[in-house]
Amino acid sequence: MQVSERIKVIISMIGLDGHTMGAEVVARLLRDAGIEVVYLGVNQTPEMIVQAAMHEDVEAIGISSHASNYNQVVELVELLEKNDLKHVKVFCGGNIPKHKVVELKDKGIAEVFPPGSSGKKIVETFLNGTRGGKWSN
């Protein structure tokens, strides 16, 4: 894959969740695929993530959720919309029950990656999900 123009994304934890390893692994997978990753780390509120998205001018946000606090991911999507950042796609991964996956997608989360998702699929989804996927091959 050739990346002629860099895609920039945020990877972040949300709320008080401290289980960072999933986010760190995904951040490294994306970087290895040539995507620029801004890793925000722990204790990020939806407001802080939106601020960072504006400041960093990112195209997508990946949230790692291991603490049943996925409602804050929904808040994040709503807040992006309020701030005219609807084009910023939100992806989410973690131990999220199936019915919640459906709910999250209904509420505008572009994709949810449950445990055991393949790294290849995660990278492809980020690539396809940003700027119409013109770098996807």
Partner 1 sequence: MKRETDYGYEIKSVYTPEDIAGVDYGRDLGDPGVYPFTRGYYPEGYRSRMWTRRMTAGLGSSEDTNKVLKRYYRMGQRGGLCVISDRVFSDCIDPDHPLGRKEAGVLGWPGCSFLEFEEMMDDIPLTGHSITLLGSCAPTTLRLAYVVALAEKRGDEIGLIHGSVMESPFENYFGQTDVQPFDLNLKLFLDAAEYVLRNNIRMRACIISQHFQESGGNNAQAIAVELSMLKEIIGLLVNERGLEFDTAAKLPYELFSIGSRFFEEVAKMRALRRMWARLAKEEFGAKDDKSCHLLLSVHTSGRTMTYQQPLNNIVRCAIQTLAGVIGGCSALDNATLDNAHAEPSALAARMSLNTQHIVACETGAADVVDPLAGSYFVETLTNRIEEEAYKIYGKIQEFGGMIKALEAGYIQKMLTDEAIKKFQEIENGERLVVGVNHLVLPPGEDFEIPIQEVRGEDSEKIAHRMQEWKKTRNLPHLTEKIVQLYRDARKGDRFNLMPSIIDAVKSYATAGEVMGTIRMARGLSYDPFHIIECPFALDGEASAHAAA
Q: Which residues bind partner 1 (CB under 8 A)?
A: 15-21, 24-25, 28, 42-43, 45, 67-69, 71-72, 95-99, 114-116, 118-120
Residue with Cβ nearer partner 1 (59 or 94): 94
Which residue's CB is nearer to partner 1, number 59 or number 113?
A: 113
E strand or H helix at 106, and its extent?
helix 98-106
Q: Helix, strand, or coil here: 14?
A: coil
- Taking the least distance from each CB to partner 1, the nearer of 83 and 95 is 95
93/90 Cα distance (integer angstroms):
10
Closest approach of partner 1 to the CB of residue 80, in Å: 18
Q: Which is nearer to partner 1, 59 or 110 (CB)?
A: 110
Using a 10 angstrom Cβ sphere, with 0-12 exposed, 13-18 middle and 19 or more buried, the burial of residue 112 is buried
d(CA 67, CA 19): 8
Residue 24 beta carbon to partner 1: minimum distance, rounded to whole angstroms: 5
Q: Shortest Cβ distance from residue 101 to partner 1 (Å)?
A: 10
Shortest distance (Å) from residue 14 CB to partner 1: 10
Residue 106, C-beta contacts closer than 8 angstroms, at least 6 positions apart: none
